[in-house]
A and B are shown apart, each in its own frame.
Chain A
């Protein structure tokens, strides 16, 4: 276990380092600089600004000094929000995003598995058909259409929930629902398919012949095995929640990380872009690691040391 963890961490470190370096240099490849706004600066002023932020030095030395600051836990100050540390901007924007993504993931998991079990259990009944209709529409409807329909129904027509913003619990309902819909659908379908497959396995017949009740067989024996492929899905789903949350945050005007993602790059706010990349990288990597570890918990047959 320990050996596996170390190996994974090392591998993670490589990919992470690549991500950082690639972002840093790709960003500089792009034409335009952080202070090329509407105003045209006199050359002396421009040279002064560049010198102040070290932008006149060679790229590699800029990168090294940025990395040295990072090692001390300093993410520097934003170019766009002058004087505001990047760390402050991110720590303000992170909670809404994490809350949105976390709730969406939780709802998708619980409801998705529940729907999947229900439709596999009551196969070929109206319950199964309506659950799968929901699942297919969740996979095929684009997020912005789901958001539009929900807003039109619950805010515009019924007037129950606010159409945007992130203030109280009521305002969180629609964004979370929107974001959770697609992963929920994917999980429900996957659970149903694998559960139906597992139910044909020999050990299920054995369990039945031992005289166990149907619910016990379903939940204790079948579901645990059926969930393994579902766990595999969690890594791509988490990645999709991050992208999806950008769309949802835009539509519902949530003050999360999403708003900074695109604007910071367009503003060429180098320190903020690097801070965002770091944050997303860490979230993504932690999720992938968590998935790897969950495998071992659900299925003791999977030996992590030998794998990968």
Chain B
């Protein structure tokens, strides 16, 4: 990405934090985020689809065994939390987990590699981690909010749900309708915000730490003692942070998935 001769460290980081944007104002689209997330979704779908096409009842191959493990793991997790018919929620949870995991995993690519490849096509900026963009995480969490609302209406009916919105925590006295409703609204809206900010904050911070580590070896070509130490520091710290980050990306994908299921399960409960 840093094809321009010598950037200062602040310029390097600001450059890496800039999206490839098309359009202005409200319609400013982050092309890199959109294309990376769609591409990763297609790849994941393709892998799982091909594993399911080639599935055998006999001794499974490595790919089939892996997909089976993932599917079974998600299905048990959903089954523990959500007790109604899960023919819609379990596939949704699987999609969220696998997709978020794949998008997070782009953090483990060498920092400058996606930008360099994009640079071959004449693009100036390319951020490879879609979940380090608040637009992706908020889009996903608002979709989850729609699912939660769907389950609320389905379990309680329109009348029942509105009744619950106005009477739930404190009681059905007309004086308490407004406080009840405000409290329920805050509770409802805090779910997508916390979901999105959690994933975004984790991935953004992770990406920034990778950038800071990448700056360590940046002065290596001056061939001083300090720059050599910096280079080895970059390799060691980059490896350490990447290994720790494998835990974080899996954990965050898992948390996003579990909280989706938990919120849906809460929506189906009667008060």
**Are A and B co-members of a single complex?**
no
